[in-house]
Structure formats: structure tokens, C-alpha cells
């Protein structure tokens, strides 16, 4: 009889211990690391388990802390990158007035679709702002011109023509010329000149102006 009661008591005890351990594990798996495992003063079969669990929770807390630190650094890096991209975006499509009604847009660096859209917008806005009749697009600094870049360029030129401005593309390098022709891009109707100087000269001609040397008295 007594033996049975002892067994019952033991069963109760095990149930009790498991319950408390379970609640700890549940809290931890829900992400709450504030719970502590109570280690009973009297050693029993559960002491080792409790100690191990305690250590595991400590490890988790440490890992979580490290992870949060990394997250914060990553966040800062992403913000930094966004700031830089914004700056690059602002620098990417400058529109400069070089003469009355003549604009120059020097393009530097690779052009992707997003940048191409921005270039188109900035150029058209520039045309209405400065009331430009001629726009010189300098692509000396563009390393690669593929079909999509060429198409964007053609679209921009067409849109500019709708506003009433004529575009001249200057600075086409030998590689770009080769790739454009081998890609079979249709460039009919696109005015091109060798370099910026030739472009400015073309603009002057179109506006009926010419640059002549000053007459000096000897």
C-alpha cells in the first residue's frame, strides 16, 4: 500500500517537473528569453536536464544578441547604400545649358532601364525649362550600349522631337559603333557627330550662328 503511494507521489513529482520545464521551453520557443529554469537544490534525475536547458537558453540569448547587432549593421549599410544611390541618381543625368536654347547632357557610366527612364524625364523637363531647340547627348562615358540602351535613347530622341527639340548624339566610340551596327539597331533619323565640339558646331549651324576669330589690330 505504502509502496503504491510512493509510486504515485513520484509520478506526481515527475509530472510537476516536466510541466515546469515544458512551460520554460514553450516560452523560449515563442522568443521570450526572460524565463529562467529553476534548478532544484536537491539533486535528482532532472538536475542535469535543467542545467543543460539553462545553458542552451544562455547560448540562444547570446546568439540572438549577435544577430541583432548584425541586423543593425546591415540596416545601417542598406541606408548608406540608398543614400549613395540617391546621390548617384542625382548626378546621373545632368542637363547643362551651353548656349541659348542649346543643352548638353553628358552621360557617364552604365545605363540600366531605371536610369534610362530618369534620363528621359530629366531631359524632357530640361527642354521645357530651358526652352531648348537643340540637345547634344554626349555618350563618351557610356561603356556599353546594348539594344535596350539604344532603344531608350531612340525613344528619348523621339519624345524630345515631339516637344520640338532636335537631338544630336556625340561621342560614339568605335566599340559602341560596332556593337550598334552588329545588333542591327535602326538609327535612321538620328543625328550623330564625332565629339562634343562637333556637336556644338552643329548646334550653332542649326541656329544660324557661327564662331569666327576676333579681328585683332596689329
The residues binding another protein (CB under 8 A) are 120-121, 124-125, 127-128, 131-133, 155, 158-165
How near is the Cβ of 202 to another protein at its closest, in Å?
A: 18
What 3-state DSSP class applies to 106?
A: strand
Beta strands at 102-108 and 96-99: parallel, antiparallel or unpaired: antiparallel
CB atoms within 10 A of CB 149: 23
How near is the Cβ of 118 to another protein at its closest, in Å?
A: 12
How near is the Cβ of 117 to another protein at its closest, in Å?
A: 9
If the CB atoms of residues 74 and 161 are measured against another protein, the closer one turns out to be: 161
Integer CA distances (angstroms), 153 to 115, 128, 150, 176, 191, in order:
11, 18, 5, 13, 12
CB atoms within 10 A of CB 33: 15
How near is the Cβ of 201 to another protein at its closest, in Å?
A: 22
CB atoms within 10 A of CB 138: 21
Which of 129, 202, 211, 115 shows the shortest CA–CA distance to 166? 202
How near is the Cβ of 124 to another protein at its closest, in Å?
A: 3
If the CB atoms of residues 85 and 161 are measured against another protein, the closer one turns out to be: 161
If the CB atoms of residues 28 and 150 are measured against another protein, the closer one turns out to be: 150
- DSSP 8-state class, residue 214: P
Beta strands at 166-170 and 96-99: parallel, antiparallel or unpaired: unpaired
If the CB atoms of residues 21 and 159 are measured against another protein, the closer one turns out to be: 159
How near is the Cβ of 120 to another protein at its closest, in Å?
A: 6
If the CB atoms of residues 17 and 152 are measured against another protein, the closer one turns out to be: 152
What 3-state DSSP class applies to 108?
A: strand
If the CB atoms of residues 145 and 165 are measured against another protein, the closer one turns out to be: 165
Q: Are 107 and 143 in contact (CB under 8 A)?
A: no
Amino acid at each position: 500500500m505504502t509502496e503504491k503511494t510512493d509510486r504515485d507521489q513520484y509520478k506526481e513529482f515527475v509530472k510537476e517537473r516536466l510541466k515546469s520545464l515544458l512551460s520554460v521551453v514553450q516560452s523560449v520557443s515563442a522568443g521570450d528569453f526572460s524565463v529562467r529554469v529553476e534548478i532544484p537544490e536537491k539533486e535528482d534525475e532532472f538536475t542535469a536536464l535543467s542545467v543543460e536547458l539553462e545553458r542552451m537558453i544562455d547560448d540562444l540569448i547570446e546568439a540572438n544578441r549577435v544577430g541583432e547587432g548584425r541586423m543593425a549593421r546591415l540596416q545601417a549599410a542598406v541606408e548608406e547604400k540608398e543614400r549613395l544611390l540617391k546621390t548617384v541618381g542625382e548626378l546621373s543625368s545632368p542637363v547643362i545649358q551651353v548656349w541659348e536654347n542649346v543643352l548638353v547632357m553628358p552621360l557617364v557610366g552604365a545605363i540600366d532601364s531605371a536610369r534610362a527612364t530618369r534620363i528621359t524625364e530629366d531631359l524632357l523637363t530640361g527642354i521645357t525649362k530651358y526652352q531648348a531647340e537643340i540637345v547634344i547627348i554626349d555618350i563618351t562615358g557610356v561603356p556599353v550600349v546594348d539594344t535596350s540602351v539604344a532603344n531608350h535613347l531612340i525613344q528619348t530622341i523621339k519624345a524630345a522631337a515631339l516637344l520640338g527639340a532636335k537631338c544630336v548624339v556625340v561621342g560614339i566610340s568605335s566599340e559602341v559603333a560596332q556593337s550598334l551596327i552588329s545588333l542591327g539597331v535602326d538609327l535612321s533619323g538620328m543625328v550623330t557627330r564625332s565629339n562634343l565640339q562637333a556637336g556644338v558646331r552643329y548646334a550653332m549651324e542649326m541656329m544660324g550662328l557661327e564662331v569666327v576669330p576676333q579681328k585683332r589690330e596689329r
